[in-house]
Structures are given as structure tokens and as C-alpha cells.
Amino acid sequence: MAKDDKIILACEVCMSRNYTTNRSKNNKKRLELRKFCPKCGRQTLHKQTK
């Protein structure tokens, strides 16, 4: 079984790092989700950071 890796999601608009989650190391693509950003006050695209 693959080991999970802790990742951080950052808002594309204000670059605020809002969310952390675990994800399998087998996935090569970066995670992109629409999440609520408390700093922007709206739902924005959040991408996985390095």
C-alpha cells in the first residue's frame, strides 16, 4: 500500500495557504479544488503547493 503524503492547498487569488490534507504519493498531477477562502470571502480555486 502506498504511503500518504501531507499536502497544502493555496488560494490562487490571494496566495493564502488555507487547507491541509493527505494524498497518495502515486498521483503525479497536482490537486486543484474549488474551496472557500476566508481571506477572500468567496469560493476560489485552490492548488497544491510544493
Boundaries of domain holding 33:
4-48
In this prediction, residue 27 carries a pLDDT of 82
CATH at 30: 2.20.28.120
Q: Give the count of domains, the chain.
A: 1
What is residue 48's predicted lDDT score, i.e. its pLDDT?
Answer: 94
- Measured over the CA atoms of residue 15, residue 47, residue 13 and residue 16, the dihedral's sign is negative
Amino acid type, 30: R
Write the pLDDT tens digit of every residue in 1-50.
Answer: 556 788 999 999 999 999 999 988 888 889 999 999 999 999 999 999 97
Looking at residue 21, its amino acid is T
- Predicted pLDDT at 2: 58
Question: What are the residues facing 32 on neighbouring strands?
Answer: 47
- Residue 10 pLDDT: 97
H or E element that contains 45: strand 42-48
Starting at the earlier edge strand, list the strands of the sheet with 32-37: 17-24, 4-11, 42-48, 32-37
- pLDDT for the residue 3: 63
